[in-house]
Amino acid sequence: MESYVCHNCGNVLNPSVKFCGKCGTKVNFEPQSVIQSTSSEMIIPPLFYELNEFFWPSTASSTNKFLAPNILQTLLNDFEKGNGETYERAKEMLLDAKPVEAIDSLWKMKNKFMFPEEKKGDLYYLLGEIGGEKVVRLIVDNNKYTDNEYSLIALSKIRSNAKIPWLSEYTNFVQFPFDILAIKNLEQTNSPEVISILINQSSFMYIEEEIYEPSGTDRNLLSEVLLRKKQPKKSTTSSLLSIGIASVANYNENKNKKLALTGLITAPYVKTDNAIEDSTNLLKTYLTEMYRLGAVLKLCGPNGVRKLDNMWSKDDARKLNSVDVFLSGCYLYMGAVHPKTNAILDSLMSKNPDAYSVHLSLIYLMDALLRGKSNLAISQYLNFLRSLMRHKHQIIREAISASILYNNFSPLKEELFPMTLTEGMIPALVFSSIEHDNHHAKSLLSSTTWGPEIEYYKTYFEKIPKNDPRINLPQ
């Protein structure tokens, strides 16, 4: 990771700033590496590690500094009413100082009628950088129905268990990846009480979005403001006929998109912006539940799944309660099998695989089993896995086959070949050929016309240093 230095005063700065927060000088950066890898060991990055950045201090100092009242008032006025360089300079100097005395003024400022909406993201980010229980209390006591996404960004910067009740109510944000930020917030508290919150919010149902057209509205705040990606606007239709035509086109387009994603959903790492751009919501939903699994097991600590024994529903397993499906995945990952699990699998196999929650649940359970790498547990389901490898439903068949390749599981990986190459299987085959030196995958890829797609995924699974500070949340 790179940091930068002000040429005027030598202050270490965040790469995104335009003015030095210490002296106010406009800066033209030349990078100086401040954080360097000291290890040559490279790893595939963990899922959603990019979002850990929003838990870091954005400036070099994490200390609240006192500003003289007249200087503070000038900066606040410039932040509220200024534009261009005036605004940017005020913002950077407030971020550098993180003055506690600014909290009340900033909180009142956001509610002023003429305060620009485009500044709200910066205001909440600044409140998060200032931090402290006062900011947490202002958010959890006042932001019940408004500014939830902005509030989550601010709360991500502050370590406090006082935010748990607010998060428990507002974790299920409509827009991805705010749900992931919320899970990370709950995980970061290291509080046992959040385990049940996370489990009870699990869901394997997803709803496809409408076809999108390029636009600057209907934006995803996190992707547009923080990840710097413009989000498109939903299309509109003017008649029942056009609605019907659009619906058919939307269904076919999303079906093709899902088939192209089948081999990627069980990958060990998927880029966050790929999930943001997924209009089918297949990838988003699956990755959210797999990330939730990791967060729950981490919070369980050395007790493992024994801590989950009392959290199963009282429903009959055949009802496919999402909590029971989720917990079954946790158990399988840890090499354990709950009495309900086999009944759940039998019930899933009897349902229509086109039902979104059915195929996603089946993939989740067997992928969790394979990721856990417990040979004893996997041996109980070898024939079940074989049946899914040959399943008539392409999404199920390819997602399970991909998981076998990603996890390099023998003897099933050898049984996959020969196979007919499809676009959806390319990422898993590329990963297997590079990471596991799979000669079957190499041979298949060398005899195909999918050249650009293969080259794309050869650079997609880029490894990073094991000690990269972006991997872990700050303690």
Q: What is the pLDDT of residue 41?
A: 83
Task: Read off the pLDDT of each residue in 202-216 and give the average, rounded to a whole number.
Answer: 67
User: Each residue of 14-70: pLDDT tens digit?
Assistant: 666 777 767 777 776 544 433 344 445 888 999 999 888 888 654 445 688 999 999
Helix (H) and strand (E) counts for the chain?
A: 23, 6
Q: How confident is the model at residue 228 (pLDDT cuts 50, 70, 90)?
A: very low
Angle separating helix axes 439-446 and 426-435, nearest 10 degrees: 130
Residue 233 carries which DSSP code?
A: E
φ/ψ bin of 4: left (φ > 0), alpha (ψ from -120 to 50), beta (otherwise): beta
Within its chain, how far is the Cα of 131 from the centroid? 23
User: Each residue of 320-352: pLDDT tens digit?
Assistant: 899 999 999 999 999 999 999 999 999 999 999
Q: What are the C-alpha distances in Å from 103 to residues 27, 65, 72, 412, 447?
A: 27, 13, 11, 59, 62
Q: What is the pLDDT of residue 469?
A: 77
| Percent of residues in the chain assigned helix, strand, coil, to nearest 5 | 55, 5, 40
Of 24-28, 135-139, 241-245, the one with minimum mean pLDDT is 241-245
User: Each residue of 248-269: pLDDT tens digit?
Assistant: 456 678 888 898 899 999 999 9
The structural domains of the chain, with segments of one domain joined by +, span 1-36, 42-160, 212-465
Rounded CA separation 169/197 (Å): 9
Rounded CA separation 311/470 (Å): 33
Q: What is the pLDDT of residue 17?
A: 73
Q: What is the pLDDT of residue 213?
A: 43
Contact 57, 40 (CB under 8 A): no
Residue type, 54: F
Q: What is the pLDDT of residue 240?
A: 43
Whole-angstrom Cα Rg for the chain: 24
Contact 24, 37 (CB under 8 A): no
Within its chain, how far is the Cα of 287 from the centroid? 7
Q: What is the pLDDT of residue 143?
A: 80
Rounded CA separation 430/452 (Å): 12
For residue 247, the tally of other CB atoms under 10 A from its CB is: 13
What is the pLDDT of the chain when averaged over all its residues? 84
Residue 46 carries which DSSP code?
A: P
Contact 281, 206 (CB under 8 A): yes
Q: Give per-residue burial for 191-202: e unless 16+ CB within 10 Å, then b.
A: eeebbebbbebb
For residue 442, the tally of other CB atoms under 10 A from its CB is: 15
User: Each residue of 108-131: pLDDT tens digit?
Assistant: 999 898 899 889 989 999 999 999
Residue type, 27: V
User: Each residue of 150-169: pLDDT tens digit?
Assistant: 999 899 999 899 999 898 87
Give the pair of three-digit tokens for residue 232: 């498109």
β-partners of residue 19 are 26
User: Each residue of 266-286: pLDDT tens digit?
Assistant: 999 999 988 988 889 999 999
Contact 198, 292 (CB under 8 A): yes
Q: What angle do CA 413, 416, 417 make, to 5 degrees?
A: 110
- Choose between 16 and 243: higher pLDDT: 16
Largest interatomic CA distance in the chain: 75
- Choose between 350 and 468: higher pLDDT: 350
β-partners of residue 213 are 233
Rounded CA separation 398/384 (Å): 15
Contact 334, 304 (CB under 8 A): yes
User: Each residue of 353-388: pLDDT tens digit?
Assistant: 998 899 999 999 999 999 999 999 999 999 999 999
For residue 235, pLDDT over 90 is answered with: no
Q: How confident is the model at residue 448 (pLDDT cuts 50, 70, 90)?
A: confident
Residue appearing with tokens 């205001």: 123
φ/ψ bin of 301: left (φ > 0), alpha (ψ from -120 to 50), beta (otherwise): left
Contacts of 373 (CB under 8 A, 6+ apart): 407
Contact 164, 193 (CB under 8 A): yes
Q: DSSP of 157-193, one letter per residue?
A: T---GGGHHHHHHH---SSTTHHHHHHHHHHHTT-TT
Q: Give per-residue burial for 77-105: e unless 16+ CB within 10 Å, then b.
A: ebbbebeeeebbbbbbbbbbbbbeebbee
Q: How confident is the model at residue 447 (pLDDT cuts 50, 70, 90)?
A: confident
Name which of 257, 57, 241, 245 is nearest 159 in CA terms.
57
User: Each residue of 383-439: pLDDT tens digit?
Assistant: 999 999 999 999 999 999 999 999 999 999 999 999 989 999 999 999 999 999 999
For residue 223, pLDDT over 90 is answered with: no
Name which of 434, 397, 141 is nearest 262 in CA terms.
397
Name which of 163, 9, 31, 212 is nearest 96 in CA terms.
9
Rounded CA separation 67/375 (Å): 61
For residue 442, pLDDT over 90 is answered with: yes
